[in-house]
Structure 1
Amino acid sequence: MEIVNEGIEEYARLHSGPESDLLKELNRETHAMVMQPRMLSGHLQGRFLSFIAKLINPNLIVEIGTYTGYSALCLAEGLAEKGKLITMDVNEELESFTRSFFDRSEFALKIDYRIADAQFEIEKIDGPIDLVFIDADKKSNGLYFDLLIDKIRPGGILIIDNVLWSGKVIEENANDKSTKALRDFNQKCLEDSRVEKVMLPIRDGLLMLRKK
């Protein structure tokens, strides 16, 4: 199921700010050389992430699920002058590809790229965290949330990608493990009084949480 009309999404993209030349290249090279390029955040979502980061001007961003680095580079646009972005992924095969784009960016010294399992790496991160973006193993969203929530400062933002799962979360006959996990996670966040929440139908769905 396409949850957003392609024409509307294209219109929204055309009426949003442009990608940098480096992001355009990364977008193009990911589609040409990497499997599952749909995992890339892309132009519209990338501009949204950049916009949110610039509003917050964070000192510390944590990203779980680097893939080829597009979302990390977008988030880094909003970092404070001495800010840092920690991004982690378990896929060693993409490390050299992704790191080459980080190294060529103006944020090279601000991005701490780690090949690591987030469930063990998060405990090594000292807070307070200002902004979190989760775009990784959907079945582990709840675990990542639990590990991060106490490290996020009051007023900090947590954004989770793919929470609508191509519309499968509302399909009664969709009972695969990832869909079930996403339904459970979305409900978990809805019932958690520690966070304000809003779900947005951008691309495959973004859930935004604000820690009270």
Structure 2
Amino acid sequence: MSFFEEKNPEMDRYLENHASSEPEILKKLRRETFQKTTQPHMISGYQQGRLLTIISQMMRPENVLEIGTFTGYATLCLAEGLSKNGKIITLDINEDLAYLPQKYFEESEYAGRIHFKLQDAKEFLRETDEVFDLVFIDADKENYVEYFKLIKPRTRSGSVIMFDNVLWYGKVLEEDPKQKSTRIIKELNDLISKDEDFENLILPLRDGVNFLRRK
């Protein structure tokens, strides 16, 4: 649950009731995530999932990167907009939970186009020579700045990057935060806003999404 949902849950319900419906496979995945994981709030929410789908459908990306698979909800949302020959690489390091996204990826119509890797994202980004049209980052907040620095060379003009949880339950308003993750997220937001290679906007959806487009 986000900082904004806690403040106005009625508005959140209204927004969900007036958004496009999610595919049945995502409904099943959401239910199983809440039944079988200890931190189900980590799943991309209904609203955010629809946002990811719409952005992907508008872009029709060939090459998508996701950092932080969790149970695969956001992955499947992003897959809805893939171009005819498009693919998604999704990275996570949680071996114990890997069975769950793998199960739903295999059941989905995108089974052959989702490449799920149990690999450290920094290691992957240092080794790959791929260029990505669309990137979604929702893991390991203390490495957000490092991810941005490593991902930038792997994008081109028109590429879109999205960082989740960039309002950090409102903690980004703290002038001198003690929590390291808060300091890193504030540093990331400052770094992005000053980078002349990108246009960006922080969307106050759930816990905040920093939406970047490379010029």
TM-score for both structures, normalised by structure 2: 0.95
* Cα offset, 1:7, TM superposition: 1.4
**Residue-pair matches, total:** 212
Structure 2: which 5+ residue stretches go unaligned?
none
Picking from 74, 77, 89, the partner of 1:74 is 77
Picking from 9, 12, 15, the partner of 2:15 is 12
Whole-angstrom distance in 2 between the partners of 1:153 and 1:72: 22
**Residue in structure 2 matched with residue 201 of structure 1 by the alignment:** 204
Whole-angstrom distance in 2 between the partners of 1:125 and 1:53: 22
Give the alignment of 1:1-212 within 5 angstroms: 2-4=3-5, 5-172=8-175, 174-212=177-215
Q: Which residue identity does 1:3 align to in structure 2?
A: F
The root-mean-square deviation of aligned C-alpha atoms, in Å, is 1.2
Q: Percent identity?
A: 42
Q: Which residue identity does 2:213 align to in structure 1?
A: R
* Cα offset, 1:104, TM superposition: 0.3
CA contact (8 A) 1:127 1:153 kept: no
Report the 3-state secondary structure (helix = DSSP H, G, I; strand = E; otherwise coil) of the residue aligned with 1:93: coil
Whole-angstrom distance in 1 between the partners of 2:176 and 2:213: 32
Whole-angstrom distance in 2 between the partners of 1:89 and 1:121: 11
* Cα offset, 1:173, TM superposition: 6.2
Whole-angstrom distance in 1 between the partners of 2:98 and 2:33: 13
* Cα offset, 1:3, TM superposition: 2.5
Whole-angstrom distance in 2 between the partners of 1:201 and 1:6: 15
Q: Deviations over 1:134-168 (max 9, x none)?
A: 00111111111111111112111000000001111
* Cα offset, 1:128, TM superposition: 2.5
Report the 3-state secondary structure (helix = DSSP H, G, I; strand = E; otherwise coil) of the residue aligned with 1:78: coil
Structure 1: which 5+ residue stretches go unaligned?
none
Whole-angstrom distance in 2 between the partners of 1:166 and 1:2: 5
Q: Deviations over 1:18-59 (max 9, x none)?
A: 111110011011011101111100211000000000010000
Q: Which residue identity does 2:80 align to in structure 1?
A: E
